Structure 1
Amino acid sequence: MNKRQLKDLLYEQVARIGKAVASPKRLELIELLAQGEKSVEQLATELSIGIKLASAHLRALREARLVTSRKDGKFVVYRLTGPDVAGLWVALRQVAEEHLLDLRVALDQMVAEPKKLVSLDRQALMDQAQRGEVVVIDVRPQAEFERSHLPYARSMPVQEIASRLSELPRDKAIVAYCRGPFCLFSEEAYELLHSQGYRVHKLLDGVSEWRAAGMPLDTD
């Protein structure tokens, strides 16, 4: 193999990753699996697609060594091959946010009211949470919280908030977060708590963004 052929091979191998993630659904699969392992059925439901199509997308990710799978009874369960895959998703999304106007416009529509967002930086938020000055709630499913979550956060899945309002203090700010900037669970939590008179804000970070920023995470 001459030098030109070797160089072509090197780029070709890296391009396998680009080809694998060149699909909106596969990117969403990576974001979902960054929260913890999930079965094909769970992933298909989350993406609102059929199991056959979900399996095809997962196969493409597996061929690029971005995900791996295991059998759990009659189910096939997938997970990311490493935290660097979640980091790839965060980096790719951040580059897109920086350079694609259409994406920035869409994100602005999701965050139409900047006052909804936490104004503190990550370290300041963690310090206030440690001191009990703010209450951070993780509104993802319980299983995702147990895999990893922000320090000092408490699990309160979005579908449980209405029945657990008594657990939240009314004299402190509430900060809700979910899977990242594209996740709508925290928006649902905000609307519900705001309607009930709570002082509430959203955090756009999820665990992947928190980890990518070099911040610590907790596991249960």
Structure 2
Amino acid sequence: MPTRTEMLAFIEAKLAYEIDAVAAAGAQASGSAVIIDSRKQQSWDHGHITGALHLPADALDTLPDTLPHDRCLIIYGWGPGCNGATNTAHRLLAADFDVRELIGGYEYWVRNGFAIEMAGTISYPEPDPLVTAETH
């Protein structure tokens, strides 16, 4: 059984590493972060976070030279059941980028009602009242 100190250290590390959709949207809007989609092409085409860069986890043999080192990279996958974002985050952290992982991934971005893009069209899904009481 972990000690209280070990559990607190784990929680502190988790809070330092993960970011929720509201904070990620704010970081993107302020320009302090770039959002990275780690999903496959078909998923990206189905819809993605507006303004995100596409860097599929299954295509990480080389990293694009255009990834910024001066801003935080917020990585996302489909949702809580997907570890593609974790794999991409691992690769980017090992390459010395500042990385955070989006809690809940694309699913919770959509459920919060933030901007998504599909086939060049930007839309704002209706926020899920179980996720947020805010409207966007």
Deviations 1:185-214 (A, max 9, x none): 111111111111111110122332222223
The answer to whether the Cα contact below 8 Å between 2:37 and 2:54 also exists between their aligned partners in 1 is yes
- What percentage of aligned pairs have identical amino acids? 22
d(CA) in 2 for partners of 1:138, 1:170:
17
d(CA) in 2 for partners of 1:112, 1:141:
31
The answer to whether the Cα contact below 8 Å between 1:162 and 1:192 also exists between their aligned partners in 2 is no
d(CA) in 2 for partners of 1:126, 1:150:
10
Q: TM-score, normalised by structure 1?
A: 0.44
Structure 2 vs 1, CA of residues 185 and 112 (structure 1 numbering), >3 Å: closer, same or farther? farther
Task: Please tell me whether residue 174 in structure 1 is matched to residue 64 in structure 2.
Answer: no
d(CA) in 1 for partners of 2:81, 2:12:
14
The answer to whether the Cα contact below 8 Å between 1:139 and 1:189 also exists between their aligned partners in 2 is yes
The answer to whether the Cα contact below 8 Å between 2:89 and 2:101 also exists between their aligned partners in 1 is yes
Give the number of aligned pairs: 108
d(CA) in 1 for partners of 2:71, 2:23:
16
The answer to whether the Cα contact below 8 Å between 2:76 and 2:106 also exists between their aligned partners in 1 is no
Question: Paired residue for 1:116?
Answer: 17
Structure 2 vs 1, CA of residues 139 and 112 (structure 1 numbering), >3 Å: closer, same or farther? farther
Q: Which runs of 5+ in 1 are unaligned?
A: 1-110
Q: Which amino acid aligns with 2:38?
A: V
Q: Which amino acid aligns with 1:213?
A: N
Structure whose CA Rg is larger: 1
Structure 2 vs 1, CA of residues 112 and 181 (structure 1 numbering), >3 Å: closer, same or farther? farther
Q: TM-score, normalised by structure 2?
A: 0.68
What is the DSSP-based 3-state SS (H/G/I as helix, E as strand, rest coil) of the residue aligned with 2:60? helix
Q: CA RMSD in A?
A: 2.2
Task: Please tell me whether residue 185 in structure 1 is matched to residue 84 in structure 2.
Answer: yes
The answer to whether the Cα contact below 8 Å between 1:126 and 1:151 also exists between their aligned partners in 2 is no
Task: Please tell me whether residue 206 in structure 1 is matched to residue 105 in structure 2.
Answer: yes
d(CA) in 2 for partners of 1:160, 1:132:
26
d(CA) in 2 for partners of 1:129, 1:161:
23
What is the DSSP-based 3-state SS (H/G/I as helix, E as strand, rest coil) of the residue aligned with 2:48? coil
Structure 2 vs 1, CA of residues 184 and 172 (structure 1 numbering), >3 Å: closer, same or farther? same
Q: Which runs of 5+ in 2 are unaligned?
A: 1-10, 120-136
Shift of 1:181: 1.3
More strand, by proportion = 2
Shift of 1:182: 1.7
- Which 4+ residue blocks in structure 1 deviate beyond 3 angstroms? none
The answer to whether the Cα contact below 8 Å between 1:142 and 1:156 also exists between their aligned partners in 2 is no
1:215 to 106, 109, 114: 114
Shift of 1:143: 1.6
What is the DSSP-based 3-state SS (H/G/I as helix, E as strand, rest coil) of the residue aligned with 2:104? coil
Shift of 1:162: 3.8
Q: Which amino acid aligns with 2:104?
A: D
